[in-house]
Structure formats: C-alpha cells, structure tokens
Structure 1
C-alpha cells in the first residue's frame, strides 16, 4: 500500500506540474492579453492548452483514486507537492529566480507533509 501512495502522489505531482507548465506556455504564446476573439483564438489554437487540460484530467483521476484509499489529511498535504515541483521546473524552464523565501517555503511544505504522513501512519497502525 505504501508503494501505491508513493506512486500515486508522484503521478499527481507530475500531472499537476505538467498542467501548470502547459498553462504558462499557453499564456506566453497567447500574448498579449486582449480579452477578445483573437486572443481566444491564440489560446485554443495552441497545443499547450490541450496538454494542460490533459494534465488536469490526469491529476483529477489520480486524486480521486488516491482519496479512495489514503487518509484525507496527508493526501491533501501531499497534493501540494506540485508547489515545490512547479517552482523547481520554473527555475529550469522559465529562468525564475530561486530565492531564500522559495527555499524555506518548499522545506516547510515538505516538513508539513512528512509530519502529517507520520501522524496518519501512527493512527493507522493502532
């Protein structure tokens, strides 16, 4: 069961990250933001928007599957791993800056997930 959770949360993180990066690419290619038919045309004729939708569908299916089996608290916390993965991928793909605040935030997210997972494991074993 632990392998199921591990693989499930990795899949969820990958799908969420794919969706966020794809929306970023869509936004870049749909510029400038004009809120008109031409802008919508630029969005919906670009393949990245469909990759983003596929990422969200994969994330939704993975999330629903995990929720059937995993405790809600740790599952909800682990679903936020994408904040860390999107930050790291954005540094690589979009030249975003890695700041001390981002590092501390990522560490706190990981520590929170570990604490909730440990607590859930303790309650499940009793």
Structure 2
C-alpha cells in the first residue's frame, strides 16, 4: 500500500541554493527529519541524516555551501552533490544521502512541492 503525497510547501518557497524546508519523519521507526531543496530548478528531498555519524546535516535549515553548488554537513564538513546526494568529500566518502521521491504539481491553484513517502521513511505527526 502506498502512502498519499505529502504537501511540503508552495514551490515558490524553495529557491536555488537557499534554505531547506524540513519536515518531521520516522525512519526505521526512529524520529528524524527530512529536508527539501531546489537545485538548478529541480526539487530534491533527502533524509536529514549524514551517513558519517547519523547527525542532521543542516544548521537552522541551511544545507548549501556558500557557493550554493554542494550540500554540506554542518557538523563534519562532508559535502554532497545536491542533485544525487553522493558524498564528494569528507569522512563519509563514498556513501550518499538517502533520497526521497519528490515532484511538483498544482494543488488548490498553486504550484506545490510534494513528497511521495515510500520504504522506511514515512511522515511523522
């Protein structure tokens, strides 16, 4: 059984290289968060967990490097490609972030970012 799409935010709220939008999730029956970003015009979502130590990547919603071309773990400095989540540098190389299925669609007359829960990561109330 598949879960319905979760509305993350209006599409206009995600800008290239800007702050991430976070949502509470459950992953493997543990409380966590997910984050959603826009990179080169496309929306991407990831479990907010660095593969190195399991800590959250963001610092107050910030996940991009200053240049805006990489995601960076605020705790360990590991870097990841924003469109694939592959680790490009730091202590967790050659792992990658857990990607979440996303899309954009019209909802109630506005373009909306959607997350399609599947697998071990589901919404948390």
TM over 0.5: no
Rg bigger for which structure?
1
Q: Greater helix share, 1 or 2?
A: 1
Q: Greater strand share, 1 or 2?
A: 2
TM, length-normalised to structure 1: 0.24
